[in-house]
Structure 1
């Protein structure tokens, strides 16, 4: 049987994580072919804008985003309030000052341990490891029990697809055929669009990883509300303490984001404070203060002859001229210099104050997954 795909007749834009970008600090990670070598903070300059997943330039003496060294569920509330929540400043949360990449089982959200597994564990003994064998992949064993859960997806067509992409309508019965069939139906439904939104079961995402450790099709489970997940999956994402206790304890919304790289969220702002926690893979966040961010956004709107507020993650931001100009003004070598850039890795968190503008991109080839809570 094929996978049921629900195509919205009147697609609506929906809120996305709102973060400020201030280019006074730039944190990036150097990569080797297999893993992370080192993490460095550097000033965000035009010379640095040729960022690559496997290398980056170093510029010293740059200011940094404030950091709390603690578990995400053991944050000193008074410190968090004084340094971030009350003054409305971004702050990142890392478990340990000396070994920020070492996570204990107790410090992780259950989803980090249950939803993902090392790709190397899937390789049979005696068989050479394929590219990507050291990456984290979705846990087929655990997540397959939720395969029928309907989730919101996004799909972005590659900018320069080869002439044979997408393939001809495939035969059913093969894992990759299921994904190809869905993509073919999307393109048949909207042949001129490069960005598509639809609803489909979790099994579609799992199918993509059954035939490749690094799938090519850019499926993105985008803003799946935790409240709509099965009870067991909800239990895997307990609300962190600072969300419950730093403010009034009012959770405005909570969402899961899980995608096949590269993933992208355009520049926008949120109407509520946001705690962003990385479950798997890496994401790079650019943050601008409200004043700087609105200036960039208005400049973009002026260039394309439109007027918008930038509060919602609308489809116009994801394709066409607005997408191109937003990406140019935020991420290119000509991007403005007044923002912060920070990489967020597995088990790390980033607090994004209300009204801060931000844009997010995945880093590296591994599956990327995040969860966020908007709260007051």
Structure 2
């Protein structure tokens, strides 16, 4: 009987606000849940000290020492030049060497993107990799892209983001003919800044199922399966959603405490409320995949808790098992528009 392949995930143990104390137990739980192999990268002594606190004897675990840590405030260019033995660079090199099949990091997202680009390289035809966040909606999961990798974009960048997310929606989320929209301030044609208007023109030229402009209020209605924007707008939108979810939970708890009737109602509806809480909790979705790299990279929030790390590692394993990146490469390779809407093929105005 052929043994089932176990994906090996390289974990940047030093990434994020909490380092190994949160990253290690979160990754261990993912391995226990889905039979994944783990390769922790970072300060070997700190990683092993943390491992001693948690049961892991039945897991396939390796540790590679890295002498440097990337701080959240560091510039990606400085990291590439001055911190070649940083945990995030070493993790990506493990993938390039074939030792691991994916990377998970809660560290500096700009540095993670830079390391992924220069160490793994980009998929042929992709000008810029982008961060795609998978979010809940009334009709199922949706993809918001870009959520922070590219703050300043050209229209053709956004069209390529849409192409990558559209392939991801079809191949991984199994959405037939994903509906693609551009995030802006009004649903009517012509609404938005120059970037949005020029991007819309290009989308209309494409073969994608482009449905036009999407307003912020339409995020969770299921109107679109893929929502495209630049990384500045996407990151602000994502952080707003996460902050709102946290605040709503706190406000609900405060209101429940105000009367016995409210507490009784809470107890009667506690199962439904827990399900609601899971649907709006960013930690349930773990991290954002970096689309456009020749490999799997999952970027988590710097403030990620153990639960978020668990789900990010599970996402990486699922992407590897589902051949997500291979399907993305195949889908983009079969789609001539990835080059048609590339930098060299467009007039300067785009």
Q: Shorter chain as normaliser: what TM range?
A: under 0.3
What TM-score do you get using the length of structure 2 for normalisation? 0.27
Q: Which has more helix, going by share of residues?
A: 2
Please give the TM-score of this superposition, normalised by the length of structure 1: 0.25
- Higher percent of residues as strand: 1
**More contact order relative to length (CA 8 Å, sep ≥ 6):** 1
